[in-house]
Amino acid sequence: MRQLERVLELIPVMVSAGLLDFSGGNLAVRGEDGVYITPTQAAEQLHWRLTPEDFILFPGEGDASMARAGRHPSRDNRLHRAVLNARPDWNFSYHGHCWGLLAFALACRPLPVPASHAGLIKAGRATEIPVVPEMPPGAPEMPIKAGILVAEHFKGMAHGALLIGGHGVLVAGAGIESTLSLAQTLENLARGQLWRLKSP
């Protein structure tokens, strides 16, 4: 599957850019036969050196999955699937803990996005990245809230992003490269905002 191969090609770029590291993170990509999710411990144990066989396929909207190579899906798989189910026109989602966006997620604070940087979300209009309220790990209502928030806040848009309160960021969209471009843009904005907030 070409989409999965492209994700594998781009993982070293994500690591180099700081979007993925050994602290965790996970990815999902839609294929013709369902949604593929990175395995648990992709960072800590596999060091992001993945093969197509490491991905877990979810062929439908339920929790039934097809694991290969003895892998188990990332614990955030429901979050990815809820967002991609809410937006059938989106094909890729990224979740990570890059430190700028993580700071906003820990503070449960929306990230302002000025019009000059909002081209991948709302061309020519300022907006903000909303926050899914902080919940206990594995809370079943969290993916539901994320799916609803994505459908409402990014209706008709090719990309979107959510700050997951107390946890990190999720960025999703129609294209793999454009979604990662948005993730990097938001991380740069978050770092810039943090610098601005601490400046006298």
DSSP-assigned beta bridge partners for residue 132:
164
Is residue 153 within 8 A of residue 160, CB to CB? The reply is yes
Structure confidence at residue 196 as a pLDDT band (50, 70, 90): confident
pLDDT digits (tens, 9 = 90+) for 156-178: 999 999 999 999 999 999 999 99
pLDDT digits (tens, 9 = 90+) for 14-50: 999 999 999 999 999 999 999 999 999 999 999 999 9
185: tokens are 């843009």
Is residue 107 within 8 A of residue 197, CB to CB? The reply is no
Pairing state between β 34-37 and 26-31: antiparallel
Average pLDDT, the chain: 93
Element (H, E) at 15: helix 2-17
pLDDT digits (tens, 9 = 90+) for 83-115: 999 999 999 999 999 999 999 999 999 999 999
Dist. CA 10–CA 194, nearest whole Å:
28
Query: CATH class for domain 2-198?
Result: alpha beta
How far CA 32 is from CA of 91, 138, 184, in Å, comes to: 10, 28, 27
Is residue 55 within 8 A of residue 36, CB to CB? The reply is yes
Residue percentage of the chain with pLDDT more than 90: 81
Q: Where are the domains of the chain?
A: 2-198
Q: What is the pLDDT of residue 197?
A: 76
